[in-house]
């Protein structure tokens, strides 16, 4: 199974502070994704990337930035954290080359609480 590692696993932040969530994959996957999971909403896509240097807006990008400095790393950045961004965040990677290579593999999640 492909490995996707997120850090930190848990984070408590203050309103107005800056938060960076990190994701690393060693599968040489082109595509990486950030989702958040909230009760009643399932998983919703925030940002994604097709490769190093690329970032794309997902379905709920407001209040978030993303950075893909390399094939392996994809960060989610909250410049000014708000309590509404309290959630569990999942990073995923996928080959994106068609067929079963399009399968997504998820990290274990980061629980973020903004006070």
* Binding site residues, other proteins, CB under 8 A: 1, 31, 33, 35, 40-45, 48, 50, 58-59, 88, 90, 94, 96, 99-100, 102-106, 108-109
- What number of CA atoms fall less than 13 Å from residue 55's CA on the CB side? 18
Quickly list H helices, the chain: none
Neighbours of 58 (CB within 10 A): 17
The two tokens of residue 103 are: 């399968």
Let me know: does 43 contact 36? Beta carbons within 8 Å. yes
Give least dist CB 94 to other proteins, A: 7
For residues 59 and 62, which CB has a smaller minimum distance to other proteins in the complex?
59
Note the Cα 76 to chain centre separation in Å: 6
For residues 85 and 93, which CB has a smaller minimum distance to other proteins in the complex?
93
For residues 35 and 81, which CB has a smaller minimum distance to other proteins in the complex?
35
For residues 17 and 51, which CB has a smaller minimum distance to other proteins in the complex?
51
User: 43: helix, coil or strand?
Assistant: strand
Give least dist CB 1 to other proteins, A: 7
Give least dist CB 41 to other proteins, A: 8
């Amino acid at each position: 199974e492909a490995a996707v590692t997120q850090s930190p696993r848990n984070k408590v932040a203050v309103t107005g502070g800056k938060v960076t969530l990190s994701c690393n994959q060693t599968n040489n996957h082109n595509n990486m994704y950030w989702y958040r999971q909230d009760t009643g909403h399932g998983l919703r896509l925030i940002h994604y990337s097709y490769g190093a240097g690329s970032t794309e807006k997902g379905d709920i990008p407001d209040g978030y930035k993303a950075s893909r400095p390399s094939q392996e790393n994809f960060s989610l950045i909250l410049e000014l954290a708000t309590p509404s961004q309290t959630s569990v965040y999942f990073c995923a990677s996928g080959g994106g080359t068609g067929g079963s290579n399009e399968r997504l593999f998820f990290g274990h999640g980061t629980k973020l609480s903004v006070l």
